[in-house]
């Protein structure tokens, strides 16, 4: 089974739990997710199946979207509703317009200090392991990008924000952004403690929450022996990547790992054309080995992913494509 399954994870399951259940349901032993979602959080968790696991690094780089609650007036030791309250402030009252103005100041490139409950390594150990011992260590701030940050149903926010008032925000951000930290920092910028309440991931790895299915739906597909409603093709993982449709001879050559050339003027989807050996590189893609960029090589139908290649050499205005990740097999 090769492809992608977008799961609407329910609260109480770890990301590893979801992968393990899908392995049992489908019988496919090779599977892995494209970005951890905390056990108590819900929403989009994309699982790569079979050969698609070789594409996970491309999916991990894409922006993510969340809806989260901000709880004002109380901070916790974990930054979320599952920790112990460590600070409370009751002598404040803020207008919701003040909150909305503060949100605007966090859009763009910002620095974040990772929370102690994160999985980042410190001297060979995960931070959350150290946190369980009641120890707090110094962490370096890291750059992240907030692409969009806005209130959800702004007219339903309390007009006056007081201790334990709750408001929902929608966030679209880069990989590595901690939403609990964002909630804490927004509150801190207003001079009050705060933490994150509920969290739901609404978009990740190029999948929207509306495309996700439950574990029960996957189990039903297994019983029916028909995964067409839950399994997405591998090409979905690289649809943001420049791509070229191959001839039948080129497909055979690529499957054997042979380099092919793309002539000047030949159309490449996701760019204009190859011109003087130049191919535009989307900023969200991980860098290719060495110079150049990644290009998806598609079968003659234009829809089936054959391989990923790097385009890095130019000879007589032709771009040479070297297969790096071959996914198709010769029939």
Whether pLDDT at 23 is above 70: yes
Q: Identify the structural domains of the chain with CATH numbers, from first to last.
A: 3-62+205-235 (3.30.2350.10), 64-204 (3.30.2350.10), 240-326 (2.30.130.10)
Confidence band, pLDDT 50/70/90 cuts, at residue 317:
low
* Catalytic-residue membership of 38: yes
Name the percent of the chain lying above pLDDT 70: 85
Q: Which residue has the higher pLDDT, 14 or 115?
A: 14
Confidence band, pLDDT 50/70/90 cuts, at residue 318:
confident
For residues 280-300, average pLDDT: 63
Catalytic residue among 2, 8, 38, 318: 38
Nearest to 241 by CA among 174, 190, 171, 311: 311
Whether pLDDT at 291 is above 60: no
Q: Which range (149-158, 193-202, 206-215, 260-269) has the least confidence?
A: 260-269
Beta strand 318-326 with 260-262 is antiparallel
Nearest to 324 by CA among 278, 290, 285, 280: 290
Q: Which pLDDT score, from 0 to 100, does residue 151 have?
A: 98
Whether pLDDT at 85 is above 70: yes
Query: Rounded to an integer, what distance in angstroms lies between the CA atom of residue 286 and that of residue 289?
Result: 9
Q: Which pLDDT score, from 0 to 100, does residue 264 have?
A: 57
List the beta strands (DSSP E) in the chain. 3-9, 31-33, 42-49, 64-72, 74-76, 85-88, 94-95, 108-112, 121-122, 125-126, 142-151, 160-161, 166-173, 194-204, 207-208, 243-245, 260-262, 293-298, 305-315, 318-326
Asked if residue 327 lies in contact with residue 51, where contact means CB atoms within 8 angstroms, the answer is yes
Nearest to 76 by CA among 40, 124, 126, 125: 40
Confidence band, pLDDT 50/70/90 cuts, at residue 265:
low
Mean pLDDT for all residues in the chain: 87
pTM higher than 0.95: no
For residues 76-102, average pLDDT: 94
Residue 72 three-state SS: strand
pLDDT tens per residue, range 174-191: 999 999 999 999 999 999
Name the percent of the chain lying above pLDDT 90: 69
């Amino acid at each position: 089974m090769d492809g992608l399954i977008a799961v609407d994870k329910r609260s109480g399951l770890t990301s590893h739990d979801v992968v393990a259940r899908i392995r049992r349901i489908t019988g496919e032993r090779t599977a892995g997710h494209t970005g951890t979602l905390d056990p108590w959080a819900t929403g989009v968790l994309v699982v790569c199946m079979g050969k698609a696991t070789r594409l996970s690094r491309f999916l991990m780089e894409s922006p993510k979207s969340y809806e989260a609650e901000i709880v004002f007036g109380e901070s916790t030791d974990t930054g979320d509703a599952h920790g112990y309250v460590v600070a409370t402030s009751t002598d404040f009252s803020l207008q919701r317009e003040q909150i909305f103005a503060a949100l605007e100041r966090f859009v763009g490139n910002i620095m974040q200090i990772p929370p102690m409950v994160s999985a980042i390594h410190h001297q060979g150990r995960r931070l959350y392991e150290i946190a369980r011992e009641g120890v707090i260590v110094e962490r370096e701030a890291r750059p992240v990008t907030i692409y969009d940050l806005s209130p959800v149903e702004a007219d339903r926010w309390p007009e006056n924000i007081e201790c334990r008032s709750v408001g929902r925000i929608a966030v679209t951000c880069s990989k590595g952004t901690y939403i609990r930290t964002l909630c804490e920092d927004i509150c801190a910028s207003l001079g009050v403690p705060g933490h994150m309440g509920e969290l739901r991931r609404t978009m990740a790895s190029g999948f929207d929450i509306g495309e996700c299915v439950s574990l029960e739906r996957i189990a039903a597909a297994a019983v029916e022996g028909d995964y067409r409603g839950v399994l997405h093709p591998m090409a979905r993982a690289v649809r943001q990547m420049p791509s070229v449709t191959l001839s039948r001879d080129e497909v055979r050559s690529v499957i054997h790992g042979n380099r092919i050339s793309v002539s000047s003027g030949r159309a490449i989807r996701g760019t204009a054309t190859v011109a003087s050996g130049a191919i535009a590189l989307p900023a969200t893609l991980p860098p290719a080995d060495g110079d150049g960029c990644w290009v998806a090589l598609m079968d003659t139908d234009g829809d089936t992913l054959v391989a990923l290649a790097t385009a890095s050499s130019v000879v007589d205005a032709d771009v040479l494509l070297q297969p790096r990740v071959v996914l198709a097999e010769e029939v």
